[in-house]
Every structure is written in structure tokens, then in C-alpha cells.
Amino acid sequence: MRASLIAAGLLALATLPLWLDNPYILHVLIVTGIFIIAAMSLNLLLGYAGQLSLGHVAFFGVGAYASALVSLGFDISFFTLKPKPVWFAMLCGIAAAGLCGWLIGRIAFKVRGAYFVIVSISFVEVVRLVAVNWVELTQGPMALNNIPPLNLLGFAFYKKPENYWLMLAVALACFFLVRRLVRSKAGRAMIALAENEPLAISVGVDVTKTLVLAAVVSAAMAGAAGALYAHYVRIVDPDVFLFIYTVTMVIMVVTGGKGTLAGPIVGGLLFGLLPEGLRALAIKPELQWIVYGVLMVLVVYFLPAGIVPALKKRLAWLS
Amino acid sequence: MALLEVRQLSVRFGGLLAIESLSLEVKEGEVLSLIGPNGAGKTTAFNAITGYLAPVSGEIFFNGEKISGRKVNDISARGLVRTFQKTSVFPNRSALENILIGLHLSSRQSPFAIMLGLPSVAHDERALRGEAERILGFINLSNKKDEPASALPYGEQRLLEVAIALAAKPKLLLLDEPVSGMNPSETASFMAKLAEIRALGITILLVEHDMKMVMGVSDRVVCLSQGRIIANGTPAEIQRDPEVIRAYLGERHRRAIG
Amino acid sequence: MDQFLQHVLNALMLGGTYALLGIGLTLIFGIMRVVNFTHGELYAFGAYMMYAFVMLTGANFFVALALAILLGALLGAGIELLLLRRLRGADIDTTMLVMIGAWIALQNGEQLAWTGVAKSISNPFPAAPLVIGPVSVAWNRVFVLVVALSLIAITYLVIQKTKLGKAMRATFQDRDTAALMGVQIGHIHTVTFALGSALAAAAGALLGPVFVAYPTMGDLAASKAFAVVILGGLGSIPGATLGGFILAMAEELGAGYISSGYRDAMSFLLIIVILLFRPTGMFAQKERIG
């Protein structure tokens, strides 16, 4: 029963551009999907490894900028790079984000709890200010424009359907990556650290290695989402580093259910599609954010583990 | 050869010198108990030996290799594993998952193999699961394997704690007050379990207040008071030692024994 | 040299307000262990209250200042009672998320109420600056420094010399023992949050008339508050005071001699660098506050 439902759902998702004739909704789905990938990556670090990282959008933005810059080429005083193919640029974006993840992982090991929250927020702000001020490299607030789309074997991903399928493929790959990690020795080590660190180290868990692994994988995944974003929307400006986007990802993970595989998906769909619903009701954006804020507080009070665990109790077949 | 050798260990804790120039040895295969009044420094000694606290001076050798100054997980990997005074499990994980975590050192999955979904990982997982179920059976908690650890009654949680430590394949197991809070029948069955653990070839260093248990399981007993060893011998010798009686059991008792 | 002195003077004024922000946050963070994301919004609230009283109702400047601080305290108490009370004993991520939700709601509420246009607030001081040799300083900035220092002194005295302050210090050191000794932890939390919020509102009410009031002004203020807390060590009022002035100095000199674009990055960079080398803060004294 459950397997066939999931199969049907996946089939509907996979064929969506073929039967959905609304380009706007398709666009919303693509952007929501990209955010869900970012939320899944945050879930690994925040939900499973228990690290209060509020700088997650830094990885997303670094992935976006790095991929965009490598595909556009750039010229700064001491170094010139010629434009490279987009698939290569995307890999660079993932690698750059992963490197930032490695840095954060090492810091997480030294600095704990609430202090780490502060460090992670500060890190993003520094990166954002660099993006704004290093105009030679990033064009600052004037943004990187005309970013080329992905080009595979001569086919350029200009239109929405192919970007939708690309997003779906990456999202599925990331989902299974997280699933494999979580059900393995590495994932158990992360969870162990989050639940009882002194006990975890007493059975041989290496804190540094575990946190660094969680941070690198999480960051690389967010970087992939950022790269997808850069080559779909094809404009990247420093606003991509705004704290509000980290907050959005955190809301998605926490309301969906941190530490569960389906949580970021449910949360992502909810907070990706909710703005559209509210916009249809002609509600001012400020009011919309107030609704989010209130919703977050309510979920924390009444469903502290998130929506998915609460649903799990009622429906035994959602995993 | 001594499995564990502590030489002139001094440890500072809470602003005081909690242990001063402590030297002791644990021989392979024996059960050594550490007793002493509260505040004598027993748990501090445990913390220093297993790497949770850095000593001010002195050295610790395990299996001939120096372990003082090493990280906790490094010491555990060498075969020195401990349990905790306050019940310590992974509360939101099932009993089986708790033991799977304990089997961390037995698993050989590399991050790349995991992410690529290589068959070696699934193979390793199956083997680990089998091992975890076996250990769960050893402590008679097989029927609770999917229960969250926090939902288990106190006595079973303490057993689970020991099982997690056993999963880490210790050569030397340090048990910190394993039966505190247990009723007499739970204590008796734990003593039997301890004999089984010993029969597996595991050396045991025990901190306990329950004298019946200490006298019943130990080959040797060391008594600590105010950070120093005041007696060292067989249970029978310790029971008669006036220093021990005075420090631990109180003046009244000494006068009563005569 | 003149330029340097000018920077120092500017830094003094800013430093006083940064210290206020930092002290408020270090008390809340230290005593309640809450990552207070609404701190910046209380700062903005203080500024907007000044705007409302001085510009919209024509009230006396000094009365408006006192009112703004008082209302800040009340808002803080309200937040604590309404949102945080129920979460006592919850883990740090839960409280953090509630505070983020409150921050979003507050900031957007302010945006709705006052619109995004920056508001300027007039002050009653003479426009001509006070000239001391080669440097000049505006009268309103002198006022800011004087009030800031007075508030810092008052707060310090309250913490050190009053029974309330003693209870707060006890709660900071060991909450459970304090509770056993009869300290009403709930009251202490409410008072602490109100006091911290009042100080943030005061900083906003003081700086609002010097610069302008705009809805997102709280975000930058919050980050500087966190930098000051980390510089000064959790729970230390002297530390936060010193930290406030050091941060202001670093910003002024950085903006003046390196690049103004990265001025705001100073606080963040300082945070990262300090925490890397001293993971518990620069002057961390874990045992005491005051």
C-alpha cells in the first residue's frame, strides 16, 4: 500500500511539466524544490548532528556565487579566469561551499552551543559584506547578470521544464544521500553526539571528524542548491546572503520535523507554497512574515518535534 | 604484566587537588574494586584514567602504552571503556540503536562508501545488527529492542549502559557505581552478569558503595580517602583494616568491632 | 592626529550605547541562557517611541526618553511572560526558535506600523557643536554619552548593591541552588528580561535622534550587542562596558583608516576571531556577574 502510494506520487512529480500547463506554478515549484534541497542539507547539520548553525545560507550563497563566477569568468587584479562550462562551474560551487563547511565544522568543534550560533550568524554577515564590497569580483549590489544556464551535450537549460527535472534529480539524489548517511555508522555518530556527547566519545566517536563530516556534506549540498539557483534564475546578488533566508530554511526544518527524513520536505512544501497562497489573498508581505513568526512559535509550543513526528503518531505508514 | 598502570597521578578538580600522587595497578583478568567515602576521589580517578580530566602530574599506562593526555575516544579505541555514575544512555534512540552506537569502533564504513551506497556498507550493517541483537540478548533485553531507552525502567537502563560499554569491546571495563539505586534482587542478578562478563576475559575496575557486592565479586579492593590510597588487599583484609573502617565505616563501627 | 582624536570622540559616544546594548544582552544571555533575537527589535522600539512621542505628539524630549525606556521595560516583561515562561527547561534550540519567531513578528510589525521610510527625530540641543581645540563634538552626542554612562552606573549599582541584584547574581551562578534558597526564578527572569530590554530601548532612544530610525536598524544593533557580549565575557558588566568601547573604537578606526564599507564587518570579524582563540569569550569569568 505504502510503496504504491509513494510510487504514484513520484510518477506524478516526475511527469508534472507534461500535464501542468501553468509556467508560474512550475516556477514556484522549482524554487521551492531548491529550497527543499537546502532544507534537507540543514536538517543533517541541525536536525541530526544537533549543531545550532544559523549561517546555512552562507553555503547556499557561496555555491551560487562560485558557480556563477566560474561560468562567467572573472578578472581581478592578480588573477583572471576564463569562463568554464556550467557543469564544471556547478562542481566548483559545490566544492567551494564544501570548503566553507569544513571551516565551520572545525569551528563548531571548538566553539559550542549558543556561542556557535553567534559565530555562524557572524560568518554569513562577513561573507555578505564581502559580496557587497568586493565589487571587482562580485559586482557588489549590481549583481552578477546573464549567468549561462546548464548546457549538456549542446542542449541549454533555458526553459522551466528542464530546470524542474534537473531540480528533481538533484533533490532525489540528495534525499537518498542523507538517508544513506543517517542509516550508517557516520549518521549514528552524529546523532550520538547530539544526544549524549560524553557517552558518545566513551564508545569511540571522534567529535571533530563527525562534526566536520556533517558540516562538509551539509554545506556541499546547500552549495548544490545554490548553484542550481544561480543557473536557473541567472542573477545573483548579495541579498542571497540575507539572514531571512536562513530563517526560512530553519523554519522549514523545524516545523517539518528536525531529525526526520520527511521533515524538511513537508516543511519546505508548507513554507514554499504558503507565500503563494497568501499572495493570492493579497496579503502584504510584512503581514505574511508576521504569520510565519506566529506559526513558528505555535509549532514550537504545540508540536515541538515538528509536523512529521506528530503525523507519524497518527498515521503509522509515513516514514 | 599489569594491564593498567597508574603512576603518581595527581588531579585537580573543583579548585582542589582531588587526587594526590595516586599509584595503582590492575592485573589482567582480575576484578578490582575502588571504595572510599564520598568525595574520596573515585570518580575523579575514573575521569582521569579515561581521559575526561587532564592530570596535573603523573602518568597512566594501558597495555604498556601511555594513555595519559590522550583524547577519550582514542583511549576507548585501545580497549579502555567506562560507564557513568548517573544513568547515561541515548534517550531518544531505541535500545537496539543504543547498542549499535556502542558498536561504533567495530564498524569499518568509510564516508565515501556510505554516500555511494556500496554493498559493503549494507553487509556491515547486517553484521552490526546481528551483533547488537546478540549483546541485547546477553543482558536479557531482547524483548525491549525497539523501545526508546528513556522509556525503560531504571534497572534496565543501567543494564543497557553496561551493554553499550561492552559493545565497544573493552579489554578493561570501568564501572562507576553500576548498581546504585538497584534493589537487592537486581543487584544479585547484576553480580551474576558481572561473573559472565569476567568469564569473557574482560578485566574489571569497579567503583561501588554496596559493600556486599564489592566483597562478593572482587579479587582485590583498594580504598581511597581524600585523594590517597589508604589500604590495598583482598576483600577479607580490607574488611578488617582499621584505617578503612575508620575512614569509611565510621568511628562507631570500629569501636563496635573492637 | 586631529583626525584620530575626532575618531576617539565619536567612538566614545558610540561605545557608551554599544555598552548599554551589550550589558542588556549579557544579563539576559547570562542569567536566562536565552539567545535573545528580539534584542535588536527593542533597540528599534526605543528609537520609534522617541519618534512617536517627540515628532507625533510633540512631547518634551527628556520625558519622551524616560517613557521610551519605561515602555521598553514593559515590552520586555511582556515578551518574557507571554513567550518564554512556558519554555522554562526546554532546550536551547526551542527557545531560540521562539525568539526568532518573535523577532520576525516584531520587526514586520514595526515595518507595518511605521513604513520603511527612515524617520528623523529632532532634539532640543544647540545645533552648533562644542569645539575643544582641534576637535568638535555635537551637543546631542555629549548628552548620549552622559546618559549612557549614568545608566551603566545605575545598572551596576543595582546588580551589586541591591537585594534584587544579589538574587540575579545567584541565579546566574547556579539556578537550582538559588531556587532552593528561596529565589523566585520566574520573577528574576522577568525582571532580567525587562531590564535588558530597557537598556536596549535606551540605546535606541538615545541614538535614534542622532541618526535616523528605520525598521531594520535593530539587526545591526543586535549583532553589535552579541559582539560586545563575547568581547566582555558572559555576565560581566565591566566586561561589556569595556567591550562596547573597544568595538566602537575598532569600528571608528577601521572605517576611518581602512574602508568604510567594511565598518559593520568589524563586529562580526571580532566575534569570529575572539571565539576561535577563546571559545568562552575574552574576559570570561564563568563564576560571577556584576
pLDDT in tens, C216-251: 888 888 888 988 888 887 778 888 999 899 889 888
The yes-or-no verdict on residue A228 having pLDDT over 90 is yes
Please name which of C233, C249, C273 lies closest in space to residue C18, comparing C-alpha atoms: C249
What's the CA gap between B67 and B60, in Å, rounded?
A: 6
**B247 grid coordinates:** 575512614
The pLDDT value given to residue C285: 44
Please name which of A68, A97, A106 lies closest in space to residue A219, comparing C-alpha atoms: A97
CB contact under 8 A, B73 and A188: no
The pLDDT value given to residue B80: 94
Looking at the fold, whether B92 and B165 belong to one and the same domain comes out as yes
Give the total residue count for chain C: 290
The yes-or-no verdict on residue B134 having pLDDT over 90 is yes
Looking at the fold, whether B240 and B218 belong to one and the same domain comes out as yes
Q: Which of C34, C80, C97 to mutate to test the interface with A (most CBs of A within 10 A)?
A: C97
* Chain B, nearest residue to A216 by Cα: B111
Q: Is C128 on the interface with A (CB under 8 A)?
A: no
The percent of residues above 90 in pLDDT, for chain C, comes to: 27
CB contact under 8 A, C281 and A115: yes
The yes-or-no verdict on residue B247 having pLDDT over 80 is no
Last residue of a domain, one of B169, B200, B222: B169
Q: Which of B83, B108, B114 to mutate to test the interface with A (most CBs of A within 10 A)?
A: B114
3-state secondary structure of B110: coil
> What subunits make at least 3 CB pairs under 8 angstroms with C?
A
Residues C100 and A296 sit within 8 Å (Cβ to Cβ): yes
Task: Give the containing element (helix H, strand E) for B228.
Answer: strand B228-233
Q: Which of C268, C269, C276, C282 to mutate to test the interface with A (most CBs of A within 10 A)?
A: C268
Domain assignment of residue B93, given as a range: 88-169
What's the CA gap between A142 and A237, in Å, rounded?
A: 7
Instruction: Give the number of other CB atoms < 10 A from CB of residue B257.
Output: 11
Q: Which of A203, A218, A260, A313 to mutate to test the interface with B (most CBs of B within 10 A)?
A: A203
Give the distance from CA A197 to its chain's centroid. Answer: 26
Looking at the fold, whether B38 and B158 belong to one and the same domain comes out as no
User: Cα distance from A187 to chain B (closest Cα, Å)?
Assistant: 10
pLDDT, tens digit, 9 for 90 and up, residues A176-186: 999 999 999 99
Partners of A114 on chain C (C-beta within 8 Å) are 29, 33, 35, 92
The pLDDT value given to residue C290: 41
What's the CA gap between B171 and B78, in Å, rounded?
A: 8
- Average pLDDT in the C89-106 region? 82
What's the CA gap between C237 and C232, in Å, rounded?
A: 8
Instruction: Give the number of other CB atoms < 10 A from CB of residue C90.
Output: 16
Residues B210 and B184 sit within 8 Å (Cβ to Cβ): no
CB contact under 8 A, B111 and A192: no
pLDDT band at residue A233, thresholds of 50, 70 and 90?
A: very high
Last residue of a domain, one of B119, B147, B169: B169
Give the distance from CA B195 to its chain's centroid. Answer: 14
Q: Rg of chain A's alpha carbons, rounded to an integer?
A: 20
Q: Is C268 on the interface with A (CB under 8 A)?
A: yes
What's the CA gap between A97 and A219, in Å, rounded?
A: 5
**C192 grid coordinates:** 532580567
- Number of structural domains chain B divides into: 2
Q: Is B111 on the interface with A (CB under 8 A)?
A: yes
Looking at the fold, whether B165 and B183 belong to one and the same domain comes out as no
CA torsion sign for C281, C283, C285, C290 is: negative
What's the CA gap between C252 and C182, in Å, rounded?
A: 46
- Average pLDDT in the A158-164 region? 85
The pLDDT value given to residue B248: 64
3-state secondary structure of B223: strand
pLDDT band at residue A276, thresholds of 50, 70 and 90?
A: confident
- Tell me the count of A-C CB pairs closer than 8 A: 120
What's the CA gap between A43 and A174, in Å, rounded?
A: 12
User: Cα distance from A267 to chain C (closest Cα, Å)?
Assistant: 15
Give the distance from CA C172 to its chain's centroid. Answer: 19
The yes-or-no verdict on residue C288 having pLDDT over 80 is no
Looking at the fold, whether B160 and B94 belong to one and the same domain comes out as yes
CB contact under 8 A, A115 and C280: yes
Looking at the fold, whether B71 and B134 belong to one and the same domain comes out as no
The pLDDT value given to residue B251: 47
Q: Is C55 on the interface with A (CB under 8 A)?
A: no
- Tell me the count of A-B CB pairs closer than 8 A: 89
Among A186, A187, A204, select the one facing B168 at the smallest CB separation.
Answer: A204
The yes-or-no verdict on residue B55 having pLDDT over 80 is yes
The yes-or-no verdict on residue B250 having pLDDT over 80 is no
- Average pLDDT in the C183-202 region? 91
- Average pLDDT in the B209-213 region? 84
Q: Is B70 on the interface with A (CB under 8 A)?
A: no
Return all residues near C98 (Cβ < 8 A) that are at least 6 apart.
A296, A297, A300, A301, C83, C84, C87
pLDDT band at residue C57, thresholds of 50, 70 and 90?
A: confident
Return all residues near B137 (Cβ < 8 A) that are at least 6 apart.
none
Phi, psi of B77 (to 5 degrees): -65, -25
Please name which of B62, B45, B51 lies closest in space to residue A203, comparing C-alpha atoms: B51
* Vertex C248: Cα angle to C244 and C249 (nearest 5): 115
Among C94, C227, C269, select the one facing A300 at the smallest CB separation.
Answer: C94
Looking at the fold, whether B20 and B71 belong to one and the same domain comes out as yes
The pLDDT value given to residue C128: 79
Q: What is the pTM of this model?
A: 0.86
- Average pLDDT in the B173-185 region? 90
Judging contact as 3 or more Cβ pairs under 8 Å, the answer for B and A is yes
List B60's β-bridge partners, or say none: B6
Instruction: Give the number of other CB atoms < 10 A from CB of residue C124.
Output: 12
SS (H, E, C) chain C: CHHHHHHHHHHHHHHHHHHHHHHHHHHHHHHHCCCCCCHHHHHHHHHHHHHHHHHHCCCCHHHHHHHHHHHHHHHHHHHHHHHHHHHCCCCHHHHHHHHHHHHHHHHHHHHHHHCCCCECCCCCCCCCCEEECCEEECHHHHHHHHHHHHHHHHHHHHHHHCHHHHHHHHHHHCHHHHHHCCCCHHHHHHHHHHHHHHHHHHHHHHHCCCCCECCCHHHHHHHHHHHHHHHHCCCCHHHHHHHHHHHHHHHHHHHHHCCHHHCCHHHHHHHHHHHHHCCCCCCCCCCCCC
Last residue of a domain, one of B135, B169, B203: B169
CB contact under 8 A, A125 and C265: yes
CB contact under 8 A, A207 and B73: yes
- Average pLDDT in the A294-318 region? 80
What's the CA gap between B25 and C199, in Å, rounded?
A: 59
Single-letter code of the amino acid located at B188: A
The yes-or-no verdict on residue C92 having pLDDT over 60 is yes
**B56 grid coordinates:** 596535573
The yes-or-no verdict on residue B166 having pLDDT over 90 is yes
- Average pLDDT in the C75-97 region? 83
CB contact under 8 A, A188 and B100: yes
Q: Is C255 on the interface with A (CB under 8 A)?
A: no
Give the distance from CA B241 to its chain's centroid. Answer: 26
pLDDT band at residue A74, thresholds of 50, 70 and 90?
A: confident
Among C105, C108, C279, select the one facing A111 at the smallest CB separation.
Answer: C279
CB contact under 8 A, A52 and C83: no
Looking at the fold, whether B184 and B258 belong to one and the same domain comes out as yes
Among B82, B107, B115, select the one facing A202 at the smallest CB separation.
Answer: B82
3-state secondary structure of B66: strand
Residues C75 and C205 sit within 8 Å (Cβ to Cβ): no
* Vertex C214: Cα angle to C211 and C218 (nearest 5): 90
pLDDT band at residue B66, thresholds of 50, 70 and 90?
A: very high
The percent of residues above 70 in pLDDT, for chain B, comes to: 95
pLDDT band at residue C286, thresholds of 50, 70 and 90?
A: very low
Please name which of B26, B13, B24, B23 lies closest in space to residue B56, comparing C-alpha atoms: B13
The pLDDT value given to residue C15: 92
How is chain C split into domains, by residue range?
19-217
Can you tell me which residue has the cell 573492637? B258
CB contact under 8 A, B93 and A176: no
pLDDT band at residue B87, thresholds of 50, 70 and 90?
A: confident
The yes-or-no verdict on residue B258 having pLDDT over 60 is no
The yes-or-no verdict on residue A19 having pLDDT over 90 is no
* Conformation bin of residue B5: beta by default, left when phi > 0, alpha when psi is -120 to 50: beta
- Average pLDDT in the B74-88 region? 92
CATH number of the domain at B188, please: 3.40.50.300
Lowest pLDDT segment from C44-53, C246-255, C270-279 = C270-279
CB contact under 8 A, A297 and C93: no
User: Cα distance from A290 to chain C (closest Cα, Å)?
Assistant: 4
The pLDDT value given to residue C140: 84
- Average pLDDT in the C102-113 region? 88
Which DSSP symbol is given to B148? B
Looking at the fold, whether B128 and B45 belong to one and the same domain comes out as no
Single-letter code of the amino acid located at B257: I
The pLDDT value given to residue C283: 52
CB contact under 8 A, A188 and B97: yes
The pLDDT value given to residue C287: 36
- Helix H segments across chain A? 2-19, 23-42, 56-72, 86-110, 113-133, 135-138, 160-182, 185-195, 197-202, 207-233, 243-256, 263-280, 285-302, 307-314
Looking at the fold, whether B201 and B153 belong to one and the same domain comes out as no
Partners of B163 on chain A (C-beta within 8 Å) are none
What's the CA gap between A258 and A262, in Å, rounded?
A: 9
**B248 grid coordinates:** 569509611
